[in-house]
Amino acid sequence: MQSTLAGNKFVVLNDEGGALTPAGKKFLREFGATLTAPGAGRRIFCRPCLDWSERRYHIAGHVGAEICRVCIERGWLARQRGSRALRITAAGRRGFREIFGVQLAAPEVWK
C-alpha cells in the first residue's frame, strides 16, 4: 500500500518520518480511518518502517494501524489464531485492487 499511497501523493515519506497530504487525509477518512492530530497520542502518527521479514517498507504508526483496523473491520484481513499474522481474504484482494489499485494474485499471509 505504501507505494500506492505515495504514488498518489496521499502520503509523503522520508528518512525523518511521514505526513499525510490533504488529499491523503480525505482519502483515508473516506476509507473509514479515524485520524487523530499528529502528536495527539503516544503512538507516532506516520512513518515508513522496514518489515524485518519481508524486507519491504510499510506505513507504521497511527496511520498504518488505522488502515489495518479498517481492513479487518471490512473483512479484507483475517487474524491467524495464535499468531500476529494476517491473512488476506478474497474480499480483501478485491478491495485492495478496487480502492488502492493493488493487485494480489494469490492468497497471502502477512506476519
Q: What is the dihedral of CA 31, 37, 42, 44, to 10 degrees?
A: 70
Q: Which of 14, 84, 3 minimizes the C-alpha distance to 46?
A: 14
Q: What is the rounded distance in angstroms from the CA atom of residue 15 to the CA atom of residue 58?
A: 13
SS3 content of the chain, % helix, strand, coil (to 5): 35, 20, 40
pLDDT per residue rounded down to tens, the chain (111 residues):
445 788 889 998 887 788 899 999 999 999 999 997 666 667 788 888 887 777 777 888 999 999 999 999 999 999 988 888 888 999 999 999 899 888 876 655 554
| Total of domains in the chain | 1
List Cβ neighbours of 92 (8 Å cut-off, separation of 6 or more): 71, 74, 75, 76, 77, 104
Residues of the domain holding 46? 2-110
pTM over 0.85: no
Instruction: Tell me which residue of 81, 70, 75, 78 sits closest to 1, measured CA to CA.
Output: 70
Grid coordinates representing 79 are 487474524
